[in-house]
Amino acid sequence: MDLDFDKWDGLVPAIAQDWKTGEVYMLAFMDRTAWEKTLATGKVHYHSRSRNKTWMKGEESGHVQLVKEILVDCDEDTVLLKIAQEGGAACHTGYRTCFYRRTGTGGVEVLGEKVFDPEKVYRK
Amino acid sequence: MDLDFDKWDGLVPAIAQDWKTGEVYMLAFMDRTAWEKTLATGKVHYHSRSRNKTWMKGEESGHVQLVKEILVDCDEDTVLLKIAQEGGAACHTGYRTCFYRRTGTGGVEVLGEKVFDPEKVYRK
């Protein structure tokens, strides 16, 4: 199955969801190279526009995402990755999921607690 | 809380997830108008680039998405909508979720069955 990489300048959005709990960890984009590397290795790769490179999630932090199942949407322009999240946290801030804040018409509320200290994991 | 609409030409990706089961129904994009209408009405609105309009999900099919909770990611450029899906199906093809196909290095497998007949729901 081929994906439609034409809608977003060669990229498709990819949602990473826990294969057991259903928790959504993050959304990022894949170019064709990231998609093919993900299929070939079973480890999720994304493409960063700001860094202009394809990268493996966890290549620096060790928080690799292992592919359990890949679902494709009706338009073939979005993928849903069912994954096992190594290290138990996907977000570079240290929270388990990037979606750690709730909002609405009122203010913002932080949900959950940090799983790791980003200053220790990302040694810059 | 404001979202970062600058990364994708005024749009942010929005993931619609069942607020009870955790099933991911679809991904679409919101412009600022769609975001504000979603907050104001409690019903999910998206923006269609191909039709160049903001629309309410279900405005034609009746399959409205009722907002239960809104989560925002670490970069404030993606939203995760916890919703109740009216009519039990989100996809215009009649499947419950747009992610009704599984793929991988092999072929494609269709999961689930159609909930409705799109020719009856979308009277064109």
Look at the pTM and tell me if it is higher than 0.90. Answer: yes
Query: What is the fold of B12-113?
Result: Ubiquitin-like (UB roll) (3.10.20)
CA distance B105 to A21: 25
Q: What is the pLDDT of residues B53-100, one digit of tens each?
A: 999 999 999 999 999 999 999 999 999 999 999 998 999 999 999 999
Contacts of A102 in chain B (CB under 8 A): 69-72
Q: Do B1 and A108 touch (CB under 8 A)?
A: yes
E-strand ranges in B31-104 read 45-48, 53-56, 65-72, 79-85, 101-103
Q: Which of A15, A47, A48 to mutate to test the interface with B (most CBs of B within 10 A)?
A: A15
Contacts of A8 in chain B (CB under 8 A): 8
Q: What is the pLDDT of residues A5-64, one digit of tens each?
A: 999 999 999 999 999 999 999 999 999 999 999 999 999 999 999 999 999 999 999 999
Query: What is the fold of A12-114?
Result: Ubiquitin-like (UB roll) (3.10.20)
Considering CB atoms only, which of B22, B27, B73 is closest to A73?
B27
**pLDDT given at position B76:** 96
Considering CB atoms only, which of A8, A26, A39 is closest to B105?
A39
Mean pLDDT of the region A65-89: 96
Phi first, then psi, for residue B12 (nearest 5°) are -130, 140
CB-based contacts of A25, cutoff 8 Å, min separation 6: A16, A17, A18, A65, A83, A85, A90, A91, A96, A97, A98, A99
Nearest to A25 by CA among A106, A107, A108, A86: A86
E-strand ranges in A1-124 read 12-18, 24-30, 45-48, 53-56, 65-72, 79-85, 101-103, 109-110
**pLDDT given at position A107:** 84
Nearest to B26 by CA among B120, B98, B106, B108: B98
Average pLDDT along chain A: 94
Q: What is the pLDDT of residues B4-45, one digit of tens each?
A: 999 999 999 999 999 999 999 999 999 999 999 999 999 999
Q: Which of A50, A73, A102 to mutate to test the interface with B (most CBs of B within 10 A)?
A: A73
Buried-state track B46-75, b at ≥16 Cβ within 10 A, e below 16: bbeeeeeebebbbeebebbbbbeebbbbbb
For residue A118, what are the CA distances in angstroms to A27, A87, A89, A90, B46? Answer: 19, 13, 11, 11, 34
Contacts of A72 in chain B (CB under 8 A): 99, 101-103, 108
Residue in the block written with tokens 């998405």: B65
Contacts of A100 in chain B (CB under 8 A): 71, 74
Residue B99 sits at the vertex; the CA angle it makes with B94 and B104, to the nearest 5 degrees, is 135
Q: Do A74 and B93 touch (CB under 8 A)?
A: yes
Beta-bridged to residue A15, according to DSSP, are A27, A80
Residue in the block written with tokens 């290290």: A87
Report chain B residues touching chain A, CB-CB < 8 A.
1, 8, 13, 15, 17, 21-24, 26-27, 39-40, 69-75, 78, 80, 91-93, 95, 98-105, 107-108, 111
Percentage of the residues of chain B whose pLDDT score is greater than 90: 87
From B116's Cα to the closest Cα of chain A, the distance in A is 15
Residue in the block written with tokens 């069912």: A82
Compare all CA atoms of chain A with the CA of B2 and give the residue at the minimum distance: A103
